[in-house]
Each structure stands twice: as structure tokens, then as C-alpha cells.
Amino acid sequence: AYNSLDKVPSIYKDDPRFLGLASDPDRGNKITSTGIREGITALEAERQKLIPPGSTRAPGGLNIDIYMGNGVPVDIKAAPSNGYLSPDKLAASINDAINLTRPNGISGDLQNVRVLFDTTYLNKSDYEQTWSSIKRYENPNQKNIIEVKINGKK
């Protein structure tokens, strides 16, 4: 996993927005391993055209991580296997996030939060268990989950 800036591939690190996307306003704008994964996830989702370009970091205290280029609020879930979240807890965290509404970063209108679910760092078993748990919630907002996986990574 990309747990330090020196391990981040240049395709992400060279983007002038990367350090801003990787900084965590809820932790004093420090760059953490979680923030690095979130920055990479946002840029990769843009690269794969899963979200509009122009992502920016959201301010702290909103329980979201970024705004898409069109201002839509997004929470990023990029938890690794063998991390602090079991598949059931990761699914619960995703379900909680898709139930949130937050202001659009441009218009200010309340919108449902989207979740960028980066599955790059999950092993096959955790991936399958997480999706199985997500589906058990039968939440109509599941349509707001956008799965992203970094190409070439397992």
C-alpha cells in the first residue's frame, strides 16, 4: 500500500492537486497514509472517468473527503485488508456514508453523499464479504457507491 509519499507513483504525485487531496483537514492538514490513499483514489477515479475531473479536498468536520469537479460531496473508503475495519464494519461505514446529505461544494444545495469505494487494497475474500454485507442492507442509496480499483494493483 502507498503509506508514504516516496512510494506514490508519479502519475498521482505529479498532479498539482495531489498534496491538497492527500492532506487531512480533520487531522491538522497532515498527510497520513489514509490521506495518501484518498488522494490516489480521487485522481484514479477521475483518470478512469468514474467521476468528473477537478476534485478538491473538502473542509473538515463534514464526514466527507472530497468534492467532485461538479461539487458533489464524496466520502472515500480505501481500507486495506488486515486493517482496522472488518468487512462487516467497512460495509457499515459505507452504508452510513451513503445515508448522509451534505452541501454541494459549488451550489451549496444538499445532496446525497457518494462513496468512492477503492477496492485496490482488499484481498478477494474481504472484497466479496464486504459487498455481501453491503447488499444485505438493501439500501436504495447503494446506487451512490462508485467502485474504483487502481489498474495493475491487487
pLDDT tens-digit profile of 85-101? 899 999 999 999 999 99
152: confidence class by pLDDT, cuts 50, 70, 90:
low
1: confidence class by pLDDT, cuts 50, 70, 90:
low
Q: Are strands 23-24 and 30-31 parallel, antiparallel or unpaired?
A: antiparallel
The yes-or-no verdict on residue 151 having pLDDT over 90 is no
User: Tell me, what's the pLDDT at 154?
Assistant: 38
The yes-or-no verdict on residue 73 having pLDDT over 50 is yes
pTM value is: 0.94
**Length reported for the chain:** 154
All residues at 6 or more sequence positions from 37 whose CB lies less than 8 Å from its CB, including other chains: 1, 2, 76, 78, 118, 121
Show the CA angle centred on residue 25, arms to residues 33 and 150, nearest 5°.
Answer: 40
The yes-or-no verdict on residue 153 having pLDDT over 50 is no
For 112-150, b where at least 16 C-beta lie within 10 A, e where not — what string? bbbbbbbbbbbeeebbebbbebbeebebebeebbbebbb
